[in-house]
Structure 1
């Protein structure tokens, strides 16, 4: 039996970052990956593919230039699924090559096969060729990620009725698409296909979407979606999905309405990929969605030598936070000190338009009873916005009236996931409204919106102070 200081199951963001961290500290590390190539869900079916698809769609449709040349403007007149797939494969090859090189450079051993527990410190690995190996780890990290939730009532066929993994393999772009589930994945794909000029309908039993995002940002976002004729059927449930003889799909809603569409994407949640791990042999048990409970400071499970990180532990299920979780878990697992992560991390939604947020929402500030003021900037107010032809985009800053510190930054629009990091830095460094008022930003840039929003809040805060003084 092979012995390792740390055995990592899964090579996604949490697994690879944890494995490399432990190896850099001089420990013997093994990664077990059941896929044909390393990278996990993030590289092959999740983060990288969806963002590559988004970028390809925006480039080929000329989406970013339509503010100048009109909605009929296109870079490529006829866009096919093959056009999208070609760029995706190039991107994936690069990601896999970089990751394999990182493993080799840091002497991380890799086995391809399916792992399952025999004991809390022992795993059985069944390789693709049928060979069975037993490996022992002083510590074990589970970074197995998630897979699409596929209820038995949905007649998936991989062609017209699909989950988010299967969507990447379609052979022809649909003229109409119904997305069941208005979570992050559903909204991202819905808006991407809308940018490809498909008629998109989003269906969700909840009456609101993206509830963890500031409501003002969501309202601006949904206005933009409806403005381009996307249908948002919220507060209604899909009761029946069936394939029609014509090849189209029919969705019957609980209010009696029927939606007929070329393709259905079912994106109502994901499951932790823990069902094949034989958790019982390790003394572990997953919840009803296959997720594992951990100590959120050390990422230890109920079994002291077993750790879990990434999407398998639940919210926020971001590649960025998964990497940090994996790093912390690995350091704790091999007995190294691990600093507590920064309090505020950014959340990015790669829809069209992008949304990114960091810190408290206005709703959370109200719940905590914090006296506050907001500053707003619209991208069209910036010179860079005019140059880019932007007629939408919003940046919102929330400040404490008492301390003048930044409490939250919320952005919807072009480049939101890049711009948010300025606000994140100010949040973690406990900066105040004066930073934005007194700081110099490159001109012309979209980042100048921070100064506009800062001045907006500063003026309002001064008026409030003057009114209170009277």
Structure 2
């Protein structure tokens, strides 16, 4: 009864997609989840909660209408932490219900409890009620996700000095906040609370942020943040964090500067949640950030029948890519045919404003010494942008001068994470600038920015090349 074709540890995006894929291939599958409800970090403390919080903040503040009615405009004058949490709980309940139904419909067995290895094929699980079970499997997938990195010199108290998991449980919306770390999570929460009119300061030890994003997009994004009084401090490490008698948080930087705010959010990295797995019993070892090394094509670890997928394998650490990793791993684990993932996938940052990118950045194109040209469209150039009251946002496309193919698409602004998929499709289908010039886009839409940017690049690429192409 306790022998399975595939055992999946963790029910986040990678785990659930893997389990359902294997079950659809008529394999006997078990999902082990240590949390009280399925869904993992993605559903309960990560992807879904942060995006729900963002949408709630934008709705309650009337953020999207401020282009017409001014910065003082608000839908709800006093926004409490409970206002933010109410919609969050409704969303989470729905997500869990959908996932439970998917497991039930596909005959995926579930087990609540903490698992660890006994040997390379056997896991011991301590259930919530204390009962201990052992399960064996032909293949095992580790999709345990990550947890916030909590260094010893930061005095976390779960109230004023918190990590990115604890931010969902805050008792009130702070008037001021210091965010330590300008990675994706830190920037998302910094901009969400800025939209709630919290005075936000971001501290980052590196001299730049979001280095994997096209530099021109980051520059535009940084300008928008500074324009609404978000303080960005780069090149400074945090020496000390403490609280005074009045409950205010003090953050001392390496250069001696002291920052004061009502709340400190530490969001400088995450670590793989592998501590309790007893990896040594199966012959595996994680790196210093708890990540597991895998074959990028099959997601096999150093032990061939043990797979890992999702955030625990490191970059890109996206829910979308984790799902695909889990699906590929499951198919390989049960002996089904697998295909290579598409070359280009979209990266979405759900900040305010959104950023989304797919393909090569301008810096990467330069490093590869590819002759290129860019086309840019500002959202304010579109009629839809006028209708929505947008005065910011841009779409940038990069094309090869030699082949005229699209090399990368980069967007900052309202709806960026939705718009990027048009560029993604053209990228993976090896489309050229002519696609954007010759095709018709719905009017008025923000997607029309693709046509504007395409024409911009087409004009810059020169009439001579176009005329030559027409005669061939």
Partner of 1:395: 395
Q: What is the CA–CA distance in structure 2 between the aligned matches of 1:16 and 1:38, rounded to whole Å?
A: 9
Partner of 1:334: 334
The alignment partner of 1:276 has SS state of: helix
Q: What is the CA–CA distance in structure 2 between the aligned matches of 1:467 and 1:111, rounded to whole Å?
A: 65
Pairwise CA distance, 1:464: 7.4
Change (3 A) 1:245 1:106: same
Partner of 1:207: 207
Q: What is the CA–CA distance in structure 2 between the aligned matches of 1:391 and 1:317, rounded to whole Å?
A: 32
Partner of 1:447: 447
Partner of 2:347: 347
Unaligned 5+ residue runs, structure 1?
none
Pairwise CA distance, 1:83: 0.3
Q: What is the CA–CA distance in structure 1 between the aligned matches of 2:97 and 2:465, rounded to whole Å?
A: 57
Q: What is the CA–CA distance in structure 2 between the aligned matches of 1:396 and 1:437, rounded to whole Å?
A: 15
Pairwise CA distance, 1:402: 0.2
Partner of 2:362: 362
Q: What is the CA–CA distance in structure 1 between the aligned matches of 2:343 and 2:94, rounded to whole Å?
A: 32
Q: What is the CA–CA distance in structure 1 between the aligned matches of 2:122 and 2:167, rounded to whole Å?
A: 36
Q: What is the CA–CA distance in structure 2 between the aligned matches of 1:373 and 1:152, rounded to whole Å?
A: 48
Partner of 1:11: 11
The correspondence of residues 270-285 of structure 1 with structure 2, limited to 5 A, is 270-285=270-285
Partner of 2:162: 162
Pairwise CA distance, 1:422: 0.1
Q: What is the CA–CA distance in structure 2 between the aligned matches of 1:204 and 1:240, rounded to whole Å?
A: 14
Q: What is the CA–CA distance in structure 1 between the aligned matches of 2:258 and 2:171, rounded to whole Å?
A: 26
Q: What is the CA–CA distance in structure 2 between the aligned matches of 1:412 and 1:333, rounded to whole Å?
A: 39
Give me the CA root mean square deviation: 1.2
The alignment partner of 2:177 has SS state of: strand
Partner of 2:224: 224
Q: Deviations over 1:262-301 (max 9, x none)?
A: 0000000000000100000000000000000000000000
The correspondence of residues 106-185 of structure 1 with structure 2, limited to 5 A, is 106-185=106-185
The alignment partner of 2:290 has SS state of: coil
Partner of 2:40: 40
Q: What is the CA–CA distance in structure 2 between the aligned matches of 1:465 and 1:435, rounded to whole Å?
A: 16
Pairwise CA distance, 1:162: 0.2
Matched, 1:96 2:96: yes
The correspondence of residues 396-411 of structure 1 with structure 2, limited to 5 A, is 396-411=396-411
Q: What is the CA–CA distance in structure 2 between the aligned matches of 1:348 and 1:38, rounded to whole Å?
A: 24
Partner of 1:61: 61
Partner of 1:299: 299
Q: What is the CA–CA distance in structure 2 between the aligned matches of 1:304 and 1:318, rounded to whole Å?
A: 24
Partner of 2:422: 422
Change (3 A) 1:351 1:25: same
Q: What is the CA–CA distance in structure 1 between the aligned matches of 2:282 and 2:154, rounded to whole Å?
A: 33
Q: What is the CA–CA distance in structure 1 between the aligned matches of 2:211 and 2:297, rounded to whole Å?
A: 25
Matched, 1:195 2:164: no
Aligned residues: 469
Partner of 1:28: 28
Q: What is the CA–CA distance in structure 1 between the aligned matches of 2:12 and 2:434, rounded to whole Å?
A: 40
Q: What is the CA–CA distance in structure 2 between the aligned matches of 1:81 and 1:280, rounded to whole Å?
A: 43
Q: What is the CA–CA distance in structure 2 between the aligned matches of 1:296 and 1:467, rounded to whole Å?
A: 43
Q: What is the CA–CA distance in structure 1 between the aligned matches of 2:463 and 2:178, rounded to whole Å?
A: 48
TM-score normalised according to structure 2 size = 0.98
The alignment partner of 1:391 has SS state of: coil
Q: What is the CA–CA distance in structure 2 between the aligned matches of 1:110 and 1:384, rounded to whole Å?
A: 47
Q: What is the CA–CA distance in structure 1 between the aligned matches of 2:126 and 2:244, rounded to whole Å?
A: 41
TM-score normalised according to structure 1 size = 0.99
Unaligned 5+ residue runs, structure 2?
none
Pairwise CA distance, 1:465: 4.5
Pairwise CA distance, 1:342: 0.6
Q: What is the CA–CA distance in structure 2 between the aligned matches of 1:466 and 1:70, rounded to whole Å?
A: 45
The alignment partner of 2:275 has SS state of: coil
Partner of 1:257: 257
Pairwise CA distance, 1:462: 1.3
Q: Deviations over 1:225-261 (max 9, x none)?
A: 0000000011111110001111110000001110000
